[in-house]
Structure 1
Amino acid sequence: MNLFEVMKDAFGPFMDGDKKPLHVGEVMNLWFYLHGTEQTLRYDQHAYNLAQDPELKEKIADIIENVHRPMINELTQFFKDEGIPLPDVGAEKVVGEFKALPEGARMNDEEIANLIAYNLVVGITSATRGITESVRSDVGYLFAKYHMMKITFSLTLKTLMQEKGWLRVPPYYITGKE
């Protein structure tokens, strides 16, 4: 079962024909999602420059090129088509090696991985809100697609974090009852 195909089949019949104007909640959710994704891309670019672990660098390149850039490109085009003003987020960050930064002045690989994981949780939660608050099927479809993209990536990141010992787990709750 391909989840994207299931979503397309579910939303497809409602996406044909004339579309009603976006309501203010849809515009707000879309605008904040694009803005948040643009900002997260900047953090990912910084993280790529600072990461030391080759597998982590590969994961960061993957999220930049296969998760965040496609979302940004698609949402930017959607905004232009709908006449929604684009958020001002500033220029992308340059790629480079910044090993000269002292150890305490830069994030280490564990911190980078956990920040990416946290940003994924925020993106998944925001996409869920977008799904539930959208009236137009095309908007719901976009948020559902982004939701699945982030969940899919999260699963692979979690595996890497477990292998490297970077996954931060809350304390176990033991009641004393058997």
Structure 2
Amino acid sequence: MMTNAFEAISAIMKNFVDEAPKPPLHVGEVMDLWTAFTAFHEAHALYQVGMNTTTDNDVQHVLQSALEGSMSDTKKIEAFLLKEGVPLPLVNPEKPISEQSAVPEGVKLKDDEITNLISAKVAASITFCAQAMSKTVRTDVGLMFFSIQINLMKFAAPLKNLMISRGWLRIPPEYNPPGAPSKE
């Protein structure tokens, strides 16, 4: 239901402002697009490493979903940059598929480590998209970051639920400010 509301808002915004002439990308927009493109490629490597180490079917599903969603968003950014005449940054190649049992224990990430790394990366990416949206002049760039942010949030909720159900979510201690009433 929430996704439909976001899609409706996005469609309305696009109808009102997409007809306006587009100024050239400014240096901040290019930098944010470059940063997102590079960070998402970095995330692809994390998802691939995770798929090469976990044997948990739920974690495999999360990683596959994350990889597919991130690749889709990355392709949008790539196509946009190329259309605007911006050269792409160098990125690392994809990781080859390997056998999970062949990864040595000292190198292998545990399932809770994998999911917490992904959770932190997704949270940082959601924040990054919000910052990029607030700095952009071009509506099409803002809408792209908005769309990517929505995709990240749609992915984050089931990931969080999996982490809670497995006891993997790392929660900071409760904060009790000085002078606050006692909860006893």
Q: Which TM bucket (shorter chain)? A: over 0.9
Question: What residue is the counterpart of 1:177 in the other structure?
Answer: 181
Question: What residue is the counterpart of 2:168 in the other structure?
Answer: 166
Equivalences for residues 105-144 of structure 1 within 5 A? 105-144=107-146
Amino acid at match of 2:139: S
2:87 maps to which of 82, 85, 88: 85
Amino acid at match of 1:88: L
Mapped contact 1:38–1:89 kept (Cα < 8 A)? yes
1:73 maps to which of 59, 72, 75: 75
Alpha-carbon RMSD: 1.4
| Percent identical residues | 32
Quote the offset at 1:17 in angstroms: 4.4
Amino acid at match of 1:36: A
Scaled by the length of structure 2, what TM-score is found?
0.91
Amino acid at match of 2:11: K
2:65 maps to which of 55, 62, 67: 62
Q: Which has the higher contact order (CA 8 A, sep 6+)?
A: 1
- The structure 1 segments of at least 4 consecutive aligned residues displaced by more than 6 Å after TM superposition are none
C-alpha change, 1:173 and 1:17, in structure 2 (3 Å) is closer
Decide which moves more: 14-23 or 134-143: 14-23
Aligned mates of 1:12, 1:32 — CA distance in 2: 28
Scaled by the length of structure 1, what TM-score is found?
0.94
Secondary structure of 1:41's aligned partner: helix
Question: What residue is the counterpart of 2:49 in the other structure?
Answer: 46
Amino acid at match of 1:100: A
Quote the offset at 1:75 in angstroms: 0.8
Quote the offset at 1:117 in angstroms: 0.3
Residue deviations 1:7-31 (CA, integer Å, cap 9, x gap):
1212332112431101111111111
> Unpaired runs of 5+ in structure 2?
none
> Unpaired runs of 5+ in structure 1?
none
Decide which moves more: 2-11 or 36-45: 2-11
Quote the offset at 1:106 in angstroms: 1.2
Residue deviations 1:1-58 (CA, integer Å, cap 9, x gap):
5112221212332112431101111111111111111111111111111112110100
Quote the offset at 1:171 in angstroms: 1.2
Question: What residue is the counterpart of 1:12 in the other structure?
Answer: 15
Counterpart check, 1:146 vs 2:148: yes
Aligned length: 177
Decide which moves more: 89-98 or 154-163: 89-98
Decide which moves more: 77-86 or 95-104: 95-104
